[in-house]
Copies of this chain bind each other. A is one copy, B any other.
Amino acid sequence: MKSYKSYSPGEPIIWAGDEMRYVGSIVSGVASLSQTMEDGRKQMVGLLLPSDFVGRPGRSHAAFDVEATSEVTLCRFERRPFEKLLNDVPHLRQRMLEMALDELDAAREWMLLLGRKTAREKISSLIYIIAQREADLKPGNGSVAVEFDLKLTREAMADYLGLTLETVSRQVNGLKKDGVIDLLGKRQVRIRDIARLLQETGDDADGGMPV
């Protein structure tokens, strides 16, 4: 019932419309959840990092494309037995509901980014979020990783942010030029000024002013 499978960068894990025989969770690497329009316009709708769940119990066909962005290892369960388990173990269903609600909140945050943020705010937000999630995985130090690998091409970032890859490139280098981040290699980022980065995201920096 349980098995592991690896995928190389760019490899599809499942296409929208395919039958889903498995559900699973990411063990290592980064995968992307995305939609594509007939004319090729593409939008990532989720970034799947280690511990994230893939697939939807109770649905036989995939609604979105899932692709490996970096080298990915997936831990898979056959969907049917998993659904049975879900019925038998109330705790598990509780857990699934929490995950779904967290993802819903994340999706809604992303809607604000896509609909209303500028290109620079979008890039800053993405870097900040990846730094945060990176730090969650390797606990210890502060609450945000200072140096890490983006594990995304400029094109993948563009697809996530609703921009073109050229704009992504310009904005990343803009943040570097302005001393907010350093680039050590194309995808290796060091955050030079975390407060400044947070400010550049356009998000409420200081959690609301009490009157």
Contact = CB atoms under 8 A, between A and B. Distances in A.
Interface residues of A, number: 42
Nearest to A56: B101
Contacts of A22: none
A164 to B, nearest CB: 11
Interface in A29-53: 33, 35, 37-39, 41-43, 45-46
Interface in A76-105: 90, 93-94, 96-98, 100-101, 103-105
Interface stretch (A110-118, A133-141, A185-193): A110-118
Given A37-B202, A93-B93, A101-B100, A43 B107 contact: no
Nearest to A118: B41
A56 to B, nearest CB: 6
A111 B97 CA distance: 21
A108 B64 contact: yes
Contacts of A56: 101
A103 B204 CA distance: 25
Contacts of A35: 108-109, 112
Interface of A: 17, 33, 35, 37-39, 41-43, 45-46, 56, 58-59, 63-64, 90, 93-94, 96-98, 100-101, 103-105, 107-112, 114-116, 161-162, 202-204, 208
